[in-house]
């Protein structure tokens, strides 16, 4: 499984071009703390809905999966890889690591 450290996300987006930040947390979690970056589109799609809405995801677009600590997003990355997605990555440490290492303005919960 390919992972990206929170400190490498902005560089990764610059290298890959338009990316999708796929936040697989529940809407209430996304409402508390979210990552929004230039050069990327953010989509909140809870983990349990990913299989049902798979057709909405472009397999040619780089996808970075995000959750609270990186566990749920790792499961989604594994599912997407099994479904034929090649350019899919897990955000190591999740939004919690983002809050502590990149942007302390993003609340921790």
Mind telling me the catalytic residues? 67
CA distances from 16 to 40, 63, 83, 87 (A): 10, 10, 21, 10
CA distances from 25 to 20, 67, 98 (A): 15, 5, 15
Q: Strand 40-44 relative to strand 3-5: parallel, antiparallel, unpaired?
A: unpaired
At 58, list the tokens.
């472009």
Euclidean distance between CA atoms 37 and 12, whole angstroms: 12
């Amino acid at each position: 499984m390919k992972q990206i450290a929170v400190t490498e996300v902005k560089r990764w987006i610059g290298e890959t071009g338009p990316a999708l930040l796929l936040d697989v947390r529940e809407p209430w979690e996304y409402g508390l703390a979210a990552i929004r970056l230039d050069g990327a589109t953010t989509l909140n799609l809870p983990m349990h809905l990913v299989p049902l809405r798979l057709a909405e995801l472009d397999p040619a677009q780089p996808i970075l999966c995000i959750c609270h600590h990186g566990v749920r997003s790792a499961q989604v990355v594994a599912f997407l890889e099994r479904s034929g997605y090649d350019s899919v990555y897990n955000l190591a440490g999740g939004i919690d690591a983002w809050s502590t290492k990149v942007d302390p303005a993003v609340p921790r919960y």
